[in-house]
Amino acid sequence: MRKAKQIFQGAVDVFAEKGFDRATMDEVAERSGVAKGTLYYHFGGKEDLIRFLMEEGVGQLTEHVEQARNQSADPVEQLRRAIEAQIVFFDQNREFCQLLLKGVWSTSDRQIQFREIMQKYFNQLQEIIDAGIAHKQLRAMPAEWAAVSLFGMVSIVSLRVILQGRPIDRKELTEFLFQQYLYGASLPEEKQGTC
Amino acid sequence: MRKAKQIFQGAVDVFAEKGFDRATMDEVAERSGVAKGTLYYHFGGKEDLIRFLMEEGVGQLTEHVEQARNQSADPVEQLRRAIEAQIVFFDQNREFCQLLLKGVWSTSDRQIQFREIMQKYFNQLQEIIDAGIAHKQLRAMPAEWAAVSLFGMVSIVSLRVILQGRPIDRKELTEFLFQQYLYGASLPEEKQGTC
Amino acid sequence: MRKAKQIFQGAVDVFAEKGFDRATMDEVAERSGVAKGTLYYHFGGKEDLIRFLMEEGVGQLTEHVEQARNQSADPVEQLRRAIEAQIVFFDQNREFCQLLLKGVWSTSDRQIQFREIMQKYFNQLQEIIDAGIAHKQLRAMPAEWAAVSLFGMVSIVSLRVILQGRPIDRKELTEFLFQQYLYGASLPEEKQGTC
Amino acid sequence: MRKAKQIFQGAVDVFAEKGFDRATMDEVAERSGVAKGTLYYHFGGKEDLIRFLMEEGVGQLTEHVEQARNQSADPVEQLRRAIEAQIVFFDQNREFCQLLLKGVWSTSDRQIQFREIMQKYFNQLQEIIDAGIAHKQLRAMPAEWAAVSLFGMVSIVSLRVILQGRPIDRKELTEFLFQQYLYGASLPEEKQGTC
DNA sequence: CATGAATGAGGGTTCATTCAT
DNA sequence: GATGAATGAACCCTCATTCAT
């Protein structure tokens, strides 16, 4: 089982750097420190390896966010923690972050399985949003769109920062995205009226 | 020049369907209705063709949004029109929409040139946002993040709908995203205080 | 079309020498004097190439025997000519002869298609035998077995001689096999009784 | 020694089904119910295993025919019994039958060793034929060709029947082949003259 | 004796690119 | 301008063999 772990790490690195199609199994093997045959001893092939990577990674992300979320019962607070947890996870797993977003937009053969894999994660966000709506803390809106747009916002900005190679100021980014998502871009004063 | 147009269309289709790496020049030629040699007569090669596609497409998108934006002087109204224009453009150019988002996440070799290509578009969004901040209609925030997160939200949700194969209700989607982006997910009542 | 001919020749040589499975496409290309890619430009792949070879070769053999046979109306004479024609053909196409017999015994995936290909040839032999039986020149017997056993006798002995690298004495071998097939191994005297 | 027996059986099955080259040591191990390493503990390698299989099998066949033959002193009767014994053996060892015939036509590397292995068997047939000629029961003919053509006839027809998956009617097939080999395809009446 | 994880040379196939026509 | 036959580097994968346990 030692080698399987090595392969996982090496594969994430290579796939993140080169993309799924341009990455070669040769390079995965080399970067993992195992022989090419070993890849095929542990995984069925390239596509199988990719699927495993995505499932494993999204599983970890989901669990990570789940834990963060469960530390509060308040939907809005859960939202903040979920955003923060996603940012932290992406920051800690920069390669996987790239991998994930590549997977999301990948070829339609893979799109289907990725969509299934991602669904677990989206469902979790939807639960939070639905709870927020039920508690009258969030306005009524299509929960699916709301979840997807949240994911889009958070990940696209996170990745942008990651790709610039800069360290992420997690607090600052969380705060920005939380504010943005919850209260939007308009001036608070304006919203709160001229009483 | 007739052939070049054919190639453009065929290439967009094929690349959108298969992704940049899985699409073959053979298939591009076939779908374009030209011989393979002709591709190389008009374009330097695969990467050159891809770059041309992206520049051309993003140019069209930018121009499309630019026009929509210029119909109003009010930054907030410009924002609404920009969002709507992007949605309309994506809806009218579904293949290119997929292409664009694939390009964004593509291999780091291409990422650099794509980032440059996209910059024109982001700049435009930033201008609007900066103007909004200057006019005290939007709250102060990092304009780059604001632009990127807007783009992320709009495109990720648009693509999601497109991929589901459903027709887009442009008005409804625009309204949702505009509201979401400007006022966020929280209840308006709460924001507007208890006057 | 020039290259296709080259490939045919090279492929027959290599497959005959190494067998279908041990022969490599690399070697076929090299021996044909074309690049490896060219093989795949002209043929779908290894299996396709093999199938083409067999069909083409058996077609030629069948036609060759057909012509020889048609020079006489007498079934027994046709039989003699068919045997001779097969021996001549094998002697002239020693590589293909080996190929053919390898194909016959090959893996069950290929066995099916080979059996179909061979059927054309067997049918021809059966026709001759059936005619002989109808004309009371041959004894009544299951025509399929008779055809197959004829083919087995002729080819197995031919190949044995070919593999020993000796030149075939076509007349002598034809005579032996014709006598053997028609009158068997027993003494003519014995058969013709002690009148 | 238990394992060696298991391997023998599994190997015969797999090699007969897939052919020597397409069969893998993995599958032999699996079908034998032993670990892959065990194969290499008992046999030197794949080629060694193949050679062992062939020698063992041909040895059994030779012995089987030897016994049948020895039950009569008459060369012609010996011939009949030899044919029958070969058919019975093939029928009882269908997998080996396929294996044997695959081996005969195999790659020239193996052809040499197979030819040596088969020689024992051919020698036996030649002995019978030579005795028949000496006793004036068979006509004078090259004993090698006579033996090889006998083998070819019997085995090619036997395998044909086996591959069709039909049960062999041993008596009927023996009779046909014996008649065919001894008296040929021509009408007996014609042969026995018009006394 | 027996095992099975690990290996890496080698095979079939793909595909961007070239060039003679 | 346009073509398509030809190319060969590079890829994914297989499988006989080894060796530490």
Over residues B112-127, the pLDDT tens digits come to 888 888 888 999 999 9
Q: What is the mean pLDDT of chain D?
A: 87
D73 touches chain C (CB under 8 A): no
**B122 in Cβ contact with B146 (< 8 Å):** no
**Of all residues in chain D, what percent carry a pLDDT higher than 90?**
47
For residue C113, the one-letter residue type is: Q
Over residues C95-146, the pLDDT tens digits come to 998 888 888 777 777 888 888 888 889 899 999 999 999 999 998 888 888 8
Q: Is the CB of B36 under 7 A from strand F?
A: yes
- Whose CA is closest to A19, among B99, B46, B105? B105
Torsion of CA D134, D140, D144, D146, to 10 degrees: -110
Residue C192's pLDDT band (boundaries 50, 70, 90)?
very low
Chains that touch D (3 or more CB pairs under 8 A): C
CA distance B48 to B4: 13
Q: CA separation (Å) from C138 to C131, D156, D192?
A: 9, 21, 14
Q: What is the mean pLDDT of chain A?
A: 89
Q: CA separation (Å) from D92 to A104, C78, D20, D85?
A: 59, 37, 21, 10
CA distance A118 to B194: 40
- pLDDT for the residue D185: 79
CA distance A139 to A126: 13
Count of Cβ atoms closer than 10 Å to residue B100 Cβ: 25
Nearest chain C residue to D145, by CA: C157
Q: Is the pLDDT of residue C174 over 90?
A: yes
3-state secondary structure of A108: helix
A106 touches chain B (CB under 8 A): yes
- Whose CA is closest to D138, among D59, D49, D78, D56? D78
**B12 in Cβ contact with B57 (< 8 Å):** yes
Q: Is the pLDDT of residue C37 over 90?
A: yes
Over residues B132-162, the pLDDT tens digits come to 999 999 999 888 888 988 988 888 888 888 8
Cross-chain residue pair A191–B183, CB shorter than 8 Å: yes
Of C107, C160, C185, the CB nearest to D138: C185
**C57 in Cβ contact with C12 (< 8 Å):** yes
3-state secondary structure of B138: strand
Q: What is the mean pLDDT of chain B?
A: 88
- pLDDT for the residue D194: 43
Q: Is the CB of D171 under 7 A from strand F?
A: no
For residue B137, the one-letter residue type is: Q
The structure tokens 């012609």 sit at D76
Residues from chain A contacting residue B104 (CB–CB below 8 Å): 105
Residues 6 or more apart in contact with residue C157 via CB below 8 angstroms: C173, C177, D145, D148, D149, D152
The structure tokens 């990570």 sit at A64
Axis crossing angle, helix A170-183 with helix A143-163, rounded to the nearest 10: 150
Residues 6 or more apart in contact with residue A25 via CB below 8 angstroms: A36, A39, A46
Residue B86's pLDDT band (boundaries 50, 70, 90)?
very high
Axis crossing angle, helix D108-134 with helix D143-163, rounded to the nearest 10: 120
CA distance B47 to D136: 84
Over residues D10-40, the pLDDT tens digits come to 999 999 889 899 999 999 999 999 999 999 9
Please compute the mean of the pLDDT values over residues D156-185 and round it to a whole number. Answer: 86
Q: CA separation (Å) from C163 to A167, C97, C157, D134?
A: 74, 10, 10, 29
CA distance A29 to B68: 51
Q: Is C103 exposed, middle or buried (0-12, 13-18, 19+ CB in 10 A)?
A: buried
Over residues D130-163, the pLDDT tens digits come to 999 999 999 888 888 889 888 888 888 888 888 7
Residue C188's pLDDT band (boundaries 50, 70, 90)?
low
Residue C50's pLDDT band (boundaries 50, 70, 90)?
very high
Q: And the tokens for C154?
A: 């002729």
Q: Is the CB of A25 under 7 A from strand F?
A: yes
Over residues A151-175, the pLDDT tens digits come to 888 888 888 888 888 888 999 999 9
- Whose CA is closest to B8, among B36, B35, B29, B37? B29
3-state secondary structure of C186: strand
- pLDDT for the residue D98: 85
Q: And the tokens for B8?
A: 């453009």
Q: Is the pLDDT of residue D192 over 60?
A: no
- pLDDT for the residue D158: 86
Please compute the mean of the pLDDT values over residues B80-109 and round it to a whole number. Answer: 88
Residues of chain A with confidence (pLDDT) below 50: 190-195
For residue D8, the one-letter residue type is: F
CA distance A53 to A41: 16
- pLDDT for the residue D193: 43
| Interatomic separation, CA of residue A47 and C1' of nucleotide F11, rounded (Å) | 14
Residue B52's pLDDT band (boundaries 50, 70, 90)?
very high
Identify the residues numbered 29 to 48 in chain C whose C-beta atom is closer than 7 Å to any atom of strand F.
34-38, 40-42
Residue C194's pLDDT band (boundaries 50, 70, 90)?
very low
Cross-chain residue pair B187–A136, CB shorter than 8 Å: yes
**A58 in Cβ contact with A79 (< 8 Å):** no
Q: CA separation (Å) from A178 to A80, A130, B69, B131, B150?
A: 6, 17, 27, 23, 14
D172 touches chain C (CB under 8 A): no
| Interatomic separation, CA of residue D143 and C1' of nucleotide F16, rounded (Å) | 41
Q: Is the CB of B35 under 7 A from strand F?
A: yes
Q: And the tokens for C78?
A: 């046709």
For residue A174, the one-letter residue type is: T
- Whose CA is closest to B132, among A139, A184, A171? A184
Residue D165's pLDDT band (boundaries 50, 70, 90)?
confident
Residue at minimal CA–C1' distance from F10? A24
Residues from chain B contacting residue A142 (CB–CB below 8 Å): 176
Q: First and final CA of chain D: distance in angstroms?
A: 65
Residue B60's pLDDT band (boundaries 50, 70, 90)?
very high
- pLDDT for the residue A188: 67
Q: Is the pLDDT of residue D118 over 90?
A: no
**D40 in Cβ contact with D28 (< 8 Å):** no
- pLDDT for the residue D188: 64
- pLDDT for the residue B100: 87
Residues 6 or more apart in contact with residue B76 via CB below 8 angstroms: A186, B132, B137, B138, B182
